[in-house]
Amino acid sequence: MPLQIAPVALPPASEALTLRQAAAQAVLAAPLTVDTHGRRFHVEWDPHAPVTPLGQVVFFSQFLATAGLFRDWVNGCPLQFTSNNAPELNNLLGTITLAILAGQHRYSHVTALRADTVNPAGLGMTKVCSEDRVRRAFAAADPQACAAWQNQALRQSWLPALRHAWIMDLDATVKPLYGHQEGAEHGYNPHKPGRPSHVSHSFFDAACGWCSTWQCIRANNPTPRTVAKTSGASGKAYLRNAAPG
């Protein structure tokens, strides 16, 4: 017997749009108070205004301020500047953070952030650094100290979740390389045989669905022993602290 479903009449497009606008105005009739690092914001929603990619960064700034993640990340930065013209760490790291959230993948794109006067204040910044300052910031930094700093910051994000049961998944991805790139070696490459490549190893927690750490291995020796040896402090700390219970 075929399934019979009573037809449902759809409201006109104009009526549906009016209902959505009324619902949005009813829920957000009063401004939302958002406390961040630098100041308190009052967020108002305009259903007629165009959507912007950074319109909701202020809520992410509130999360960083509440959890103390951005403050601890800035305080643990190993960079030390002696010049009087050197940028403040909060401004420098805040500029990098906003550039990443904006989806920028080149240093020249940082210039587009200099006209933003709202989101930098949410991170407690006094100004947006130029692309040249961001480019030269880590040129003379100690790689080992920077790796330890980043691993410690990353550890704060996943360590509380290890109180529950977990499953570690290791995903290996072969990335073919073209030209003369650092670390390019001949190895297992099923899609482009004979082409130099890198092998990216990602450690995923299956229960929570996040990537705990990532490591790029030379294609000529992507064995489990090599991965375990070069997985970095973050991967080793994850396994050391990942005993459930």
> Given this model, what pLDDT does residue 122 score?
87
pLDDT reading at 1 higher than 50: no
d(C-alpha 108, C-alpha 131), whole Å: 6
pLDDT reading at 204 higher than 80: no
d(C-alpha 98, C-alpha 54), whole Å: 9
pLDDT reading at 93 higher than 90: yes
> Measured at the alpha carbon of residue 102, what is the angle toward residues 212 and 71, in degrees to the nearest 5?
60
> Given this model, what pLDDT does residue 17 score?
55
d(C-alpha 76, C-alpha 149), whole Å: 6
> Given this model, what pLDDT does residue 3 score?
43
| pLDDT: which is higher, 216 or 58 | 58
CB 62 within 8 A of CB 34: yes
Q: What are phi and psi of 100, to 5 degrees?
A: -70, -45
Rounded to an integer, the average pLDDT of 69-96 is 89
pLDDT reading at 90 higher than 80: yes
Write the pLDDT tens digit of every residue in 115-154: 888 888 888 888 899 888 888 888 888 989 998 898 888 8
pTM here is 0.67
> Given this model, what pLDDT does residue 73 score?
92
